[in-house]
C-alpha cells in the first residue's frame, strides 16, 4: 500500500511533503521518511512509527524540493533501515507497490544492499542504467532514459518518485498499476498517490493529471512534462477533483466517528449525483444480462452480498457474489452476455482490479461502484457508478459501505422500475442520533462475539463482525443465523454476546429461533431490529424504513458499537494495527 508524495515549491517543500504524508497516512503508518533539498544538500530523514514522529524530527526546514513516503511494510519489518527513501549512489527513491522480480534484479546489481525491501532494488537498477548510459550527455535525458530502461526491467506494481543527485532541481515520477496523480500549479508542482493529498488551493489553481501505466513525469517548480514509455512527450487529459464533503477540522475525537456522522450527507449526495454517471445506461441493460457476478473484497464484498439479495429480489434473476481475491484465480467459465460488477471504495484494490481484467479477457462487460472518480477501476470498466460518500480516511469503511448499499438498491430499483424509499438520509440520521452507548456499556468487555442474521441481515452480520475484529481486535464471527447449529454453536457459551440482526419480517420468527437456541446455551443476546421485540431481550430499536433497504440502517449501530469498543479499550480506531486503507498489493 504505502503513500508517496513529491513536490517542487519555493521554500516550503519539506513542510508540504509532511502535510501530504499526513493525508496519505491511511495508506500505511508503520514508518515514514523524507528526502529534501536544503541549499545544495539533500537531507534524508527517516522515522519508525507514525508521520507525527517524522514531523517532529524534521522540524521547520527551508527547501524547494522534497519526496516522502509513509509505509505499510510488505518486505521487511518496520525499521529505519527498511524505511523509504531508498538510495543508490545518485538516486533517491520512494516507492508504492511490489517489485516481484526483486531477488533476480538484486543479484544482477553492482551495489550492496542495506535493507530487506523490494524497493531498494529500484534505486540500484536506476543507478546501473545511469552508469551504462554515458553516451547521453544531457543529464535530464540520461535520467529519463535510465527510468525508461528500469521500467522495462521491473515486474510487479510501482509508483515511484525520485531525485537524482546529478539534477536535484527536478523530481521524476513513473508508474505501473499503483496510482499516481500530478497536480500542476503556478510556480509549484506536486505528485502523490492520491488526489486528496495535495495542499488546498483557491478554485482551479491546481490542475490534476492521472498518470497511465508506463508514463513518466518530469517535474520542476516551473514545469511538468509527461512522457510515454518510449520517451515521446505526451499530453494527459486533465481530471477534475470530486466535490468534497471532507472537512479537516471537526469536533469529533476520531475520523471514523466523524465519517459515521457524515453518513446522512453522504446518502443525500449519492442519491443526487450517482445518476450523473453511467447509472441509467447500466440500469436499462441490467435485466438483459444472462449472468451477473459481483466481486469485491472485505466490506465491499459484504455490500456485494446485499447486492445479490436486492438484485435477485427485484429482478428475479440469479446473481453470484465472489471474493475478488478468489475470483481472479478460479476456473473462468465463459458465458455470453455476462456482467461482472466490481465494488471498491478506493477503486485501487489490486485483487478487484485483477478480477475485472480477467472478466474482460473472458468477454464479460464490466461495471464498477466506486467512491473515487479518478481511480484505476474507473478507467478499466465499461460502466462506472460513482458513490458520493466524500473522502473516507479512517481505515474502517463506514460511509462508503452505506453508499455502496444505496447504489445497489438504486440500481436494482431503477432496473425493476420501482420507486425508491425517499427519506433514507433522515432515517439514517435518526439511527445515529438514537444510538446510546449507555445501554451497551455492559458489553464493552466481552471478548467473544457472534453476529447473526438471515438473507440481507446475514450480510450486515458479516460486516458488523468485521468492523469489530478490525478496529477492536476481538474475536467476532458473522454467520447466517441458520448455520450456527452446524458447528459454530459449540463455541457459544456464557462469555459470548450474540448480536442478532432482524429486519426482514418474512424470517423474523426463524431468526428468533436461533436467538432462543443461543440463549439456552447461556449466551448474552442483543437484538438489532426495527420491530419492537421487547421480551426477547436487550434491543437496539431502529427507525423504520422499507424492509429491502434496512441493511443501510441496521449497520449504523454496529459501526458505532465497534468504534466505541475500540475507543473505550484505549485503541486508535482510525489506524488499526497491521492494516491500511487502500490495499494495492495482492
Ligand atoms: C474494512 C475495509 C476493507 C475494504 C477492502 C476493500 O473496513 O475497509 O475490508 O473494504 O479492503 O477495499 P476497497 O473497497 O477500497 O476495494
For ligand 1, pick from 179, 295, 297, 585 the residue to mutate: most ligand atoms within 8 Å of CB: 297
For ligand 1, pick from 301, 302, 349 the residue to mutate: most ligand atoms within 8 Å of CB: 349
> What 3-state DSSP class applies to 159?
strand
Per-residue pLDDT tens digits for 408-418: 999 999 999 99
Distance of CA 298 from the midpoint of ligand 1 (Å) = 5
- Ligand 1 atom with minimal separation from the 346 CA: 15
pLDDT over threshold 50, residue 245 = no
- Ligand 1 atom with minimal separation from the 349 CA: 16
- 581 assigned to active site: yes
When pLDDT is cut at 50, 70 and 90, the band that residue 199 belongs to is confident
Minimal CA–CA distance to 557: which of 458, 447, 464, 420?
464
Least confident of 182-186, 248-252, 338-342: 248-252
Average pLDDT, integer, range 143-167: 97
- Ligand 1 atom with minimal separation from the 398 CA: 7
Distance of CA 161 from the midpoint of ligand 1 (Å) = 26
Higher per-residue confidence, 584 vs 491? 491
Average pLDDT, integer, range 42-53: 96
For ligand 1, pick from 583, 585, 586 the residue to mutate: most ligand atoms within 8 Å of CB: 583
HEC readout, 509-558: HHHHHHHHHHHHCCCEEEEEECCCCCCCCEEEECCCCCHHHHHHHHHHHH
Q: Is 349 in the pocket of ligand 1 (CB under 6 A)?
A: yes
When pLDDT is cut at 50, 70 and 90, the band that residue 249 belongs to is very low
pLDDT over threshold 60, residue 133 = yes
pTM to 2 decimal places: 0.86
Query: How high is the pLDDT of residue 584?
Result: 75
DSSP-derived secondary structure for 161-188? EEEETTSTT-EEEEEEBS--EEEE-SSE
Query: How high is the pLDDT of residue 535?
Result: 84
Per-residue pLDDT tens digits for 113-124: 999 999 999 999
Query: What residues does each domain of the chain span?
Result: 3-234, 247-420, 429-578
Distance of CA 394 from the midpoint of ligand 1 (Å) = 11
The CATH number fitting domain 429-578, selected from 1.10.3720.10, 3.40.50.2300, 3.40.50.300, 3.40.50.10490: 3.40.50.10490
- 2 assigned to active site: yes
pLDDT over threshold 70, residue 404 = yes
- Ligand 1 atom with minimal separation from the 404 CA: 14
pLDDT over threshold 50, residue 566 = yes
Higher per-residue confidence, 108 vs 91? 91
Per-residue pLDDT tens digits for 9-33: 999 999 999 999 999 998 989 999 9
Count of C-beta atoms within a 10 Å radius of residue 452? 28
**Of 2, 8, 373, 403, catalytic:** 2
pLDDT over threshold 90, residue 136 = yes
* In contact, 286 and 416? CB cutoff 8 Å: no
CA 86, 92, 95, 98 dihedral sign is: negative
Minimal CA–CA distance to 157: which of 141, 172, 143, 174?
174
Instruction: Round to whole Å and give the CA distance between 307 and 337.
Output: 19
Tell me whether domains 247-420 and 429-578 share a fold.
Answer: yes
Instruction: Round to whole Å and give the CA distance between 237 and 264.
Output: 34
Class of the CATH-defined domain 3-234 = alpha beta
Average pLDDT, integer, range 76-105: 95
The hierarchical CATH code for the domain 247-420 is 3.40.50.10490
Per-residue pLDDT tens digits for 74-90: 889 999 999 999 999 99
When pLDDT is cut at 50, 70 and 90, the band that residue 434 belongs to is very high
Q: Nearest residue CA, atom 8 of ligand 1?
A: 397
When pLDDT is cut at 50, 70 and 90, the band that residue 335 belongs to is confident
As beta bridge partners, residue 158 has: 97, 177
Q: Identify the burial level of 531 via C-beta atoms within 10 angstroms of its C-beta, where 0-12 means exposed, 13-18 middle and 19 or more buried.
A: middle
Q: Nearest residue CA, atom 10 of ligand 1?
A: 299
Query: How high is the pLDDT of residue 250?
Result: 65
Amino acid at each position: 500500500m504505502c503513500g508517496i508524495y513529491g513536490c517542487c515549491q519555493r521554500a516550503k517543500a519539506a513542510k508540504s511533503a509532511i502535510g501530504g504524508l499526513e493525508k496519505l497516512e491511511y495508506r500505511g503508518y508503520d514508518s515514514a521518511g523524507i528526502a529534501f533539498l536544503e541549499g545544495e544538500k539533500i537531507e534524508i530523514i527517516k522515522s519508525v512509527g507514525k508521520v507525527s514522529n517524522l514531523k517532529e524530527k524534521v522540524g521547520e526546514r527551508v527547501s524547494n524540493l522534497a519526496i516522502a513516503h509513509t509505509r505499510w511494510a510488505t518486505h521487511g519489518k518496520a525499521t529505519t533501515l527498511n524505511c523509504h527513501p531508498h538510495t543508490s549512489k545518485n538516486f533517491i527513491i520512494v516507492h508504492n507497490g511490489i517489485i516481484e522480480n526483486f531477488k533476480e534484479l538484486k543479484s544482477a546489481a553492482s551495489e550492496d544492499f542495506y535493507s530487506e525491501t523490494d524497493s531498494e532494488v529500484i534505486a540500484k537498477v536506476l543507478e546501473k542504467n545511469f552508469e551504462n548510459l554515458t553516451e547521453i550527455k544531457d543529464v535530464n535525458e540520461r535520467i529519463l532514459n535510465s527510468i525508461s530502461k528500469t521500467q522495462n526491467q521491473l515486474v510487479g506494481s510501482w509508483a515511484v518518485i525520485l531525485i537524482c543527485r546529478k539534477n536535484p532541481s527536478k523530481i521524476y515520477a513513473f508508474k505501473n498499476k499503483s496510482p499516481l496523480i500530478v497536480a500542476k500549479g503556478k510556480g509549484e508542482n506536486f505528485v502523490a498517490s492520491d488526489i486528496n493529498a495535495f495542499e488546498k488551493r483557491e478554485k482551479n489553481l491546481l490542475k490534476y493529471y492521472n498518470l497511465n501505466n508506463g508514463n513518466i513525469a518530469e517535474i520542476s517548480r516551473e514545469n511538468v512534462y509527461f512522457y510515454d514509455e518510449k520517451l515521446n512527450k505526451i499530453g494527459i487529459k486533465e481530471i477534475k477533483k470530486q466535490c468534497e464533503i471532507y472537512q479537516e477540522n471537526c469536533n469529533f475525537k476520531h475520523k471514523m466517528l466523524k465519517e459515521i456522522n457524515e453518513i446522512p450527507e453522504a446518502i443525500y449526495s449519492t442519491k443526487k449525483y450517482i445518476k450523473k454517471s453511467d447509472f441509467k445506461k447500466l440500469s436499462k441493460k441490467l435485466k438483459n444480462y444472462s449472468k451477473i457476478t459481483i466481486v469485491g473484497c472485505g466490506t465491499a464484498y459484504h455490500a456485494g452480498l446485499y447486492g445479490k439479495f436486492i438484485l435477485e429480489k427485484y429482478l428475479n434473476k440469479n446473481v453470484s457474489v465472489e471474493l475478488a481475491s478468489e475470483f481472479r484465480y478460479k476456473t473462468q467459465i465463459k458465458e455470453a452476455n455476462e456482467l461482472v460488477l466490481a465494488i471498491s471504495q478506493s477503486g485501487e484494490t489490486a485483487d478487484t482490479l485483477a478480477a475485472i481484467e480477467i472478466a474482460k479477457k473472458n468477454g464479460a462487460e464490466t461495471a464498477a461502484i466506486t467512491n473515487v472518480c479518478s481511480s484505476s477501476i474507473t478507467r478499466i470498466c465499461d460502466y462506472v457508478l460513482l458513490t458520493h460518500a466524500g473522502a473516507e480516511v479512517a481505515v474502517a469503511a463506514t460511509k462508503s459501505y452505506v453508499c455502496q448499499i444505496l447504489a445497489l438498491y438504486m440500481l436494482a430499483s431503477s432496473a425493476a422500475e420501482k420507486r425508491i424509499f425517499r427519506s433514507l438520509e433522515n432515517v439514517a440520521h435518526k439511527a445515529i442520533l438514537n444510538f446510546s452507548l449507555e445501554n451497551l456499556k455492559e458489553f464493552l468487555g466481552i471478548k467473544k462475539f457472534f453476529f447473526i442474521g438471515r438473507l440481507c441481515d446475514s450480510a450486515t452480520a458479516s460486516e458488523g463482525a468485521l468492523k469489530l475484529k478490525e478496529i477492536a481486535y476481538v474475536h467476532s464471527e458473522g454467520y447466517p443465523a441458520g448455520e450456527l447449529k452446524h458447528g459454530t454453536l459449540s463455541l457459544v457459551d456464557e462469555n459470548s454476546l450474540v448480536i442478532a440482526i432482524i429486519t426482514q419480517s418474512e424470517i423474523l420468527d426463524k431468526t428468533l429461533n436461533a436467538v432462543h437456541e443461543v440463549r439456552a446455551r447461556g449466551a448474552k443476546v442483543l437484538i438489532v431490529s426495527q420491530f419492537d421485540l421487547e421480551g426477547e431481550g436487550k434491543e437496539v430499536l431502529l427507525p423504520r424504513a422499507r424492509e429491502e433497504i434496512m441493511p443501510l440502517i441496521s449497520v449504523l449501530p454496529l459501526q458505532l458499537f465497534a468504534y466505541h469498543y475500540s475507543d473505550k479499550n484505549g485503541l486508535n480506531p482510525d489506524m488499526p494495527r497491521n492494516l491500511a486503507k487502500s490495499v494495492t498489493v495482492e
